[in-house]
Amino acid sequence: MKLKPLMAAALILAAAAGPGLAAPSRFSFAIQGGLAGQEENNLGLALQGGVGFGANLGRGFSLTGEAAFWRSHSRTSFRKLYEGTLALLPVLVSVRYEFRPNAYFIPYALAGGSYVFVRYRLGRVEAQPGVRVGQRVEGGPALHLGLGVRVPLTWKTSFFGEATYIMRRAPAETTFWGADGALRRDAIWVNLHIVLVKFGVRFFF
């Protein structure tokens, strides 16, 4: 009679120590949301959201692609962006490694390359009478790295949290049109080093 409690305890310990609910599926689709923050001191925090896809390469490795989108408000700063709205859409391709792919709590690291699409809309600018001001910011390639954790909920669904750091310094330009038709261009740089904090759900199929 005393063996039954011991057997039950052994089964519980074996289940806890054994493989978790990590999905063995080849492909995955993810939706996520969270916060985006730029290191540029005149750009504010913003809510961001995105989608992603993944392909399991085996031995804990996977290839992922994702896109996120957000708009950040800029405040006027000397030799930086004037007041306006900066829309960003980074597309990231990463190699991800899961350190414990068959556990209930799965930490992972990722690194890769990305392309940051940028659209800037200038707000109201106080300039001298007859002077018009324009600004543009260039998109371009970037590098990124990140850390995260995945928590399997079922064989086909996992919750995840992740922090990704995108590294890009974007060339930009301020243009002044004078009342007499004169034109002046000033080259500036925009620090688009970005921290993305993401929470989402990944579906396996």
Q: What is the pTM of this model?
A: 0.82
Q: Which domain holds residue 86?
A: 25-128+138-171+191-204
Kindly state whether residue 186 falls inside one of the protein's structural domains: no
The contacts of residue 49 (CB under 8 Å, 6+ apart) are 31, 32, 33, 34, 68, 69, 70
Kindly state whether residue 4 falls inside one of the protein's structural domains: no
Kindly state whether residue 1 falls inside one of the protein's structural domains: no
Residues 79-130: tens digit of each pLDDT: 788 889 999 999 999 999 999 877 889 999 999 999 999 999 987 776 666 6
- Pairwise CA distance, residues 90 & 67, whole Å: 6
Q: Is the pLDDT of residue 65 over 60?
A: yes
Q: What is the pLDDT of residue 126?
A: 63
Kindly state whether residue 164 falls inside one of the protein's structural domains: yes
β-pairing, 132-137 vs 106-122, is unpaired
Q: What is the pLDDT of residue 23?
A: 47
Q: Is the pLDDT of residue 3 over 60?
A: no
Kindly state whether residue 33 falls inside one of the protein's structural domains: yes
Q: What is the pLDDT of residue 130?
A: 66
Domain with residue 73: its CATH number is: 2.40.160.20
Kindly state whether residue 58 falls inside one of the protein's structural domains: yes
Q: Residue 27 corresponds to which tokens in the numbers above? A: 């492909």
Residues 119-175: tens digit of each pLDDT: 999 877 766 666 778 889 999 999 999 999 999 999 899 999 999 999 999 999 988
What is the percentage of the chain residues whose pLDDT exceeds 70? 84
Residue 198: closest CA among 153, 158, 157, 149: 149
Residue with tokens 């600018």: 125
Q: What is the pLDDT of residue 129?
A: 66
Q: What is the pLDDT of residue 128?
A: 66
Q: Residue 67 corresponds to which tokens in the numbers above? A: 């896109």
Kindly state whether residue 81 falls inside one of the protein's structural domains: yes
The domain total for the chain is 1
